[in-house]
Amino acid sequence: MESKGHSVVINGKKVFYWEQNPDKSETIIILHGFPGSHAGLADLAKTFGEYRVIVPDLPGCGQSEPLEQRHTLEHYSTWIADLMEYISLDQAVVIGYSFGSRVTLFFGAHYPKKAKSIILMNPVLKVDGLIAYCLALHCNIAKLLPEYLRHKWLYNGIYHRVSHAIVFKSPDMERRRQILKQGSLEAKEIDHRVAMEIFDEFYHSDLIKIGQHVVIKSLVIAGSSDKIVSPYSIKKLAENLPGASVRMVEDSGHLFPLEDPAAVSDIIKSWLEVNI
């Protein structure tokens, strides 16, 4: 299985993306959560051996530089379109996890000719889960702090350990340790300007109704025990996504795609077999 990291310059900014199986005919793009990078989804990406897989570091995350503009869903979606044009990719299945699902949903609504279909894993649609409310409070406090203190506050190690302890569902302690370690590394690399701009849009927007503008096939995967994404928001999204397939996974939380990538991959591949 051939895989490689690429560091390129698009619109004057450094862009990093990880690629697997470049010669395969069907392409999947996977968008990570926030804070995050391609590395957090590597185990999931590697399960798609029959597809070309591209996992970019979104702007301001991992090894990709921040945008010149504000970090909004519109600008992230344009960035994905620019990346596809740069690598001469006309169309792909786009999969998003958590924050990446927000970008994926927006991209699917505005670039239907480029997104063959979309898959949303634990989509964060609005502030309505327990941890989402805690995050809102955490970021609102950051706004009141001097700029030089914001990064330390936003990525306080104790806060992240406590929040992860709540959202973990896997009994595999080694897997938990790996996820927590990777999450801490990714958080330290985030520019606080990027974090605050992403949070501002998240806090003030509800993406449920944007589903009405999605005309391509879609799959929503969510955990029944997710403390960040409420089952109610998933239900309302499904009502607004014409013809969407929804898979609620029992006893699974927000980190399900990281905790059990093989199980998520099986769900996705089964759906893709009949939908592309």
Q: Report H helices in 70-228.
A: 73-86, 99-110, 130-144, 147-154, 157-167, 173-188, 192-204
| pLDDT value at 220 more than 70 | yes
SS3 for 166?
helix
| pLDDT value at 72 more than 50 | yes
CA distance 99 to 37: 11
CA distance 64 to 190: 10
Highest mean pLDDT: which range of 106-110, 175-179, 195-199, 242-246 = 106-110
Domains along the chain?
3-275 (3.40.50.1820)
pLDDT at 181: 63
Yes or no: say if 102 and 118 are a contact pair by the CB < 8 Å rule: no
pLDDT at 3: 75
| pLDDT value at 130 more than 70 | no
pLDDT at 34: 85
Give the residue with greater pLDDT, 55 vs 202: 55
pLDDT at 162: 45
| H-helix or E-strand spanning residue 231 | helix 231-240
Beta bridge partners of 119: 95, 219
| pLDDT value at 117 more than 90 | yes
pLDDT at 158: 42
**Mean pLDDT of the region 71-99:** 96
pLDDT at 149: 65
pLDDT at 100: 95
Q: Considering the entire predicted model, what is its pTM?
A: 0.84
What share of the chain in percent tops pLDDT 90?
A: 53
Give the residue with greater pLDDT, 236 vs 142: 236
**Mean pLDDT of the region 25-46:** 92
Adjacency order of strands within the sheet including 245-249: 3-10, 13-20, 52-56, 27-31, 92-97, 115-121, 217-223, 245-249
| pLDDT value at 185 more than 90 | no
Q: What's the burial of 14, exposed, middle or buried (CB within 10 Å: 0-12/13-18/19+)?
A: middle
| pLDDT value at 173 more than 90 | no
| pLDDT value at 131 more than 80 | no
pLDDT at 74: 95
Q: What value does the mean pLDDT of the chain take?
A: 84
**Mean pLDDT of the region 182-192:** 64
